[in-house]
Structure 1
């Protein structure tokens, strides 16, 4: 297992989805545009954030000096009702 990777138990609940939203980098203390798991681009720490809530501020977790603090969505939480 690679260090700092999101984990899951059942592949049936995860779909591969390519969307430009996954490429966006969000500054600390900005509103999360989607609910999901966000990863710090500087150190790899992962957090879950609900849509509309603030991403963590600068210095919310330890970093090496000179490491960029920003967030990238790596897992989107789909709130749409599923069939069946």
Structure 2
């Protein structure tokens, strides 16, 4: 019986720790993206916000340039590239 209780406790702890992951961008719509970026940056310093903003701009430009021949595809590709990414992942992508 104790073994089952320990397994249940370990499972519950795993779920809690997984839910505490870093916030990500929700690029499902313009409003969702704006809201998720605001949530991600609310506790950042101005320098961190600037770095993150520049990283988003850099990734967006790279992806848009790769799809320059088709503006609609370029916009979709930018949203796809940013969707589900954390601050750290976006900064790394921009390098």
**TM-score, normalisation: structure 1:** 0.26
Which of the two has greater helix per residue? 2
**TM-score, normalisation: structure 2:** 0.24
Which of the two has greater strand per residue? 1
